[in-house]
Amino acid sequence: MKFFVDTADVEAIRELNDLGMVDGVTTNPSLILKSGRDILEVTKEICGIVSGPVSAEVVALTANEMIAEGRKLAAIAPNIAVKVPLTWDGLKACKTLTSEGHMVNVTLCFSANQALLAAKAGATYISPFIGRLDDINLDGLDLISEIRTIYDNYGFDTQILAASIRTANHVAQCAMIGADVMTAPPSVIKGLANHVLTDKGLEQFMKDWAKTGQKIL
């Protein structure tokens, strides 16, 4: 499973990229706001750090305006994936942009039927939001499983990009279900290394090592 990092923080992206933990980046208007930077400027910088896809989201609501914004975003760098919402206008924009050879990430997916429509419109990525479904007492992981089954049944090339990842369990379960990609904030990705038994074992090792009175350096 590929790891995308969900942020517009270039330093966080650079750190994870240097460790080989980043296969791509996803951004959205909220993350651009948090960065405090111009969308075109920061997106171009991110595209220069990572070699994989960088999702940059349109903010228009009509198909023609989405297409125009998508073309402008796609011109930033060859690895831009234009991000459009899963609305009827978004699907129209997806069809046009993919037909022009651009990568398109269809976002804000909350049902298997929506994912089916996105695949038929030629989406490169579909982004089901796991955590937001969990927030309303639905199992977001069930949606990942449903989409995986549908896409496999009919040979769709659209990649499942699991989004709104909140926990380490989300990551492991998505990998077992067969999501192609997951995107999560830097803190969630770094948190995957944590386990209480690792901490406990390391603490015991250090106590025992101190008793030996030895040094390696």
Question: Active-site residue among 83, 92, 207, 215?
Answer: 83
Closest CA to 12 of 189, 195, 181, 171: 189
Is 70:92 a contact under the CB 8 Å cutoff?
no
Burial track 107-121 (b if 16+ CB lie within 10 A, e otherwise): bbbbebebbbbbbeb
Nearest CA-CA partner of 6 in 41, 37, 30: 30
Whether 83 is a known active-site residue: answer yes
Paired with 109 in beta bridges are: 128
Q: Could you give the CA distance from residue 196 to residue 18 in angstroms, rounded to a whole number?
A: 26
Active site residues: 83
